[in-house]
Amino acid sequence: MGRSLIRLALQAIGAALIASSVLWALQGLGIVLWPADSFMLSKREWALYGAIASAIGGLFLMIAFRVRR
C-alpha cells in the first residue's frame, strides 16, 4: 500500500506542476493574457520558469511510473 500511495502522490504532483507551468509559460510568452492583472504577462523569464517546472513535473511522472506496485 505504501508504494502505491507514493506513486499516486508523485503522479498528482507531477500532473499539477505540468498544468500550472504550461500556464506560466503561455503567460510569459504573451499568448494567454489571463488574468489581466497578472505580473507574469509578456515576461519572457516566466516562459523559462514554466519550461523548467514542466520538465520537473515530467520527471515526477517518470519516477512515478517506474515505482513498482
- How would you write the pLDDT of the chain (69 residues) with one tens digit per residue? 688 899 999 999 999 999 999 999 999 999 999 999 999 999 999 999 999 999 999 999 999 999 876
Q: What is the pTM of this model?
A: 0.86
What pLDDT sits at residue 67? Answer: 84
What pLDDT sits at residue 20? Answer: 97
State whether the Cα torsion 31-39-53-14 is positive or negative. negative
Phi and psi based region of residue 64 (left: phi greater than 0; alpha: psi -120 to 50; beta: remaining): alpha
- Tell me, rounded to whole angstroms, the distance of Cα 46 from its chain centroid: 12
Task: Give me the number of domains the chain comprises.
Answer: 1
What pLDDT sits at residue 69? Answer: 62
